[in-house]
Amino acid sequence: MAAHNELGKYGEEEAVTFLQQKGYQILERNWRFQKAEVDIIATNGKVLAVIEVKTRSSLYYGNPQDFVNPKKIQLLVKAINNYVNYKDLDVEVRFDIIGIYKTEHICEIEHLEDAFYHF
């Protein structure tokens, strides 16, 4: 497995642990719909949290969360609309980003709730 794939997998594992410690219930991991992949779908109370995880080993080009682009947002919204309809859910949906900065010596996690809005 390529190093960047291993880093991404590590980040998703850290994000799941982080969310569970905050009381989230993980429903899905790496859920796919057409061209979209949703990293984590979880509940927090009555809220369906859709979480995109970005992990970086350097901040040279910016914070991890800065790498969620408009195209990715569009794909996530389309995928979650399908998920909610398919599962016949009546929930409030929130889109979050978890940015993880990991080096040999540190691991910093930043959770941005309501990172972007769908319309």
> How would you write the pLDDT of the chain (119 residues) with one tens digit per residue?
666 678 778 889 999 999 999 999 999 999 999 999 999 999 999 999 999 999 887 777 777 777 788 898 899 999 999 999 999 999 999 999 999 988 888 888 999 999 876 54
Distance from C-alpha of 8 to C-alpha of 5, rounded to nearest angstrom: 5
* pLDDT at residue 47, rounded to an integer: 95
pTM here? 0.89
Q: Is 16 helix (H, G, I), strand (E, B) or coil?
A: helix
Distance from C-alpha of 119 to C-alpha of 108, rounded to nearest angstrom: 31
* pLDDT at residue 84, rounded to an integer: 95
Distance from C-alpha of 56 to C-alpha of 105, rounded to nearest angstrom: 13
Distance from C-alpha of 31 to C-alpha of 41, rounded to nearest angstrom: 8
Distance from C-alpha of 12 to C-alpha of 54, rounded to nearest angstrom: 8
The helix (H) or strand (E) run that includes residue 71 is: helix 70-87
* pLDDT at residue 2, rounded to an integer: 65
| Strand 47-56 to 92-102 pairing | parallel
Torsion sign over Cα 42, 45, 48, 54? negative
